Amino acid sequence: MARPVVAIVGRPNVGKSTIFNRIIGDRLAIVEDKPGITRDRIYGTSEWNGKPFSIIDTGGIEIDGDDMILKSIRAQAELAIEEADVIVFMCDAKAGITQSDEEVGNLLYRSGKPVLLAVNKVDNLARMDHIYEFYNLGFGDPIGVSGSHGTGVGDLLDAITEHLPELPDDEYDEDVIRVALIGRPNVGKSSLVNAILGEERVIVSNVAGTTRDAIDTPFEKDGQRYVLIDTAGMRKRGKVYESTEKYSVMRAMKAIERADVVLVVINGEEGIIEQDKHVAGYAYEAGKATVFVVNKWDAVEKDDKTMHEFEKKIRDHFLFMTYAPIVFLSALTKQRLHKLLPVVQHAAEQHARRVATHLLNDVVSDAIAINPPPTDKGRRMRINYVTQVAVKPPTIVVFVNDPELMHFSYERYLENKIRAAFDFEGTPIRIFTRRKSDKED
């Protein structure tokens, strides 16, 4: 399901990233501590008053090729106008209105988008008086906030949710597999789309997706219906922010949210770069089934060890995505292309798979018998039972005597045992540890 998008815009050092982190909260902190997943974040998700939304920190987007600050700020404002449903215009109570604020304000005022004026660094009552001059920017009542103390953030979120639009529900049936192609520019996403559709010759139509600028292409193969969500070629030419890689990450996130299976397309000629880790990391965090597609494999000079060595590189770079299968192919020559859709279909099936509670408990009981939970300060964790509570991704709750005794390494051990028993290839598994209450006992 597509979420409305909120963008935080403003000149440097007004505290955009601090407010961004306050809004996304602790939900992503655990993921960020895991090796193999990038910590550099410009895009997050949150929910307030029962309304989910995505949020962009434009302060995390550097504009390459020109170090003029005003030009950079202007480009970020243009990006927000193009991508966002609601814009948070961030200013600094301490500094007052600056020329940069007026420049951004003029741009936003003409956009016609809902703009909420947030004045940061209102860290005490005396500073509250400083917000009144910001009425001069023409965006109505300024909302005083403090990124360092968290005050006023709830009022800002109330205002954001009041302005969020209702986006249409996804129009596809449950049995349609939605596939997003993501990856940095020039990895061959467009060529891969054309190769898949050209070979099948069963294009139904090109229809605009629920996410702006995405093109949804439905087709059918061997009785299975698919929709390709293509982010390729979506960057607007001539914009200042054209060259920034993080911008394409932000665009890819919209496609990831709507997908069942994410194809992380890597250029086989160039190998893996940091940008690939960005997009794959977001697919992981979103809980989507994932397949690594190494494209342009025809152009790689290789011997009998090349594929194995490339696969090892992928596993080393993406330590927490060992479940994701890897397909080597060439969109240009169609080499190995026939292997892709069966892998996609299998990943989608595992992503939606539900395992009976008694089978899960049998596997976990065997795992405990082989390797009991370690003790911590003389106390040992006792696992009472496990159950799967959701699919897409498969989500498993482990009920124990004390959740604090669940060590990360033992959780990983249980996941490996569950995967060995039930496959789950292509999909992440979410495992949560909960205390079993006395009532349940």
pLDDT of residue 36: 45
Choices 3.20.20.120, 3.40.710.10, 3.30.930.10, 3.40.50.300: CATH for 5-163:
3.40.50.300
CA distance 352 to 390: 9
User: Does residue 403 have a pLDDT over 80?
Assistant: yes
pLDDT of residue 429: 96
Q: Could you tell me the fold of the domain covering 177-349? A: Rossmann fold (3.40.50)
Tell me if 145 sits within 8 A of 152, measured CB to CB.
yes
CA distance 150 to 89: 17
CA distance 260 to 417: 24
Residue range 150-192, pLDDT digits in tens: 899 999 999 999 999 887 666 678 899 999 998 877 788 878 8
Pairing of strands 375-376, 224-230: unpaired
What does the domain layout of the chain look like in residue ranges? 5-163, 177-349, 357-435
pLDDT of residue 413: 96
pLDDT of residue 424: 96
> What are the CA-CA distances from residue 276 to residues 47, 419, 423 (Å)?
27, 25, 26
Residue range 69-113, pLDDT digits in tens: 667 667 767 777 777 899 999 999 999 999 889 988 988 988 889
User: Does residue 33 have a pLDDT over 50?
Assistant: no
Task: Check residues 194 and 239 and name the one with the higher pLDDT.
Answer: 194
pLDDT of residue 81: 78
Instruction: Give the Cβ contact number of residue 270 at 10 Å.
Output: 12
Phi, psi at residue 166, to the nearest 5°? -85, 115
Mean pLDDT of the chain: 83
> What are the CA-CA distances from residue 252 to residues 57, 170, 258 (Å)?
15, 17, 10
Task: Check residues 288 and 256 and name the one with the higher pLDDT.
Answer: 288
pLDDT of residue 242: 44
Q: Could you tell me the fold of the domain covering 357-435? A: GMP Synthetase; Chain A, domain 3 (3.30.300)
Instruction: Tell me the chain's radius of gyration from C-alpha atoms.
Output: 24
Please state the separation of Cα 290 from the chain's center in Å: 12
Helix (H, G, I), strand (E, B) or coil at 90: strand
CA distance 294 to 299: 11
- % of the chain exceeding 70 in pLDDT: 81
Omega prior to 393 cis, within 30 of 0:
yes
Q: What is the mean pLDDT of residues 127-144?
A: 92
Domains 177-349 and 357-435 share a fold: no
CA distance 383 to 434: 10
Tell me if 97 sits within 8 A of 137, measured CB to CB.
yes
CA distance 420 to 54: 35
pLDDT classification of 216: cutoffs 50, 70, 90: confident
Residues in the annotated binding site: 10-17, 57-61, 120-123, 183-190, 230-234, 295-298
Q: What is the mean pLDDT of residues 126-142?
A: 91
pLDDT classification of 211: cutoffs 50, 70, 90: very low
Tell me if 317 sits within 8 A of 290, measured CB to CB.
no
Please state the separation of Cα 239 from the chain's center in Å: 24
Q: What is the mean pLDDT of residues 386-393?
A: 96
Cα torsion at 402, 408, 410, 411 (round to 10°)? 80
Residues in the annotated binding site for GTP: 10-17, 57-61, 120-123, 183-190, 230-234, 295-298
User: Does residue 282 have a pLDDT over 90?
Assistant: no
CA distance 47 to 24: 8
Q: What is the pTM of this model?
A: 0.76
pLDDT of residue 100: 85
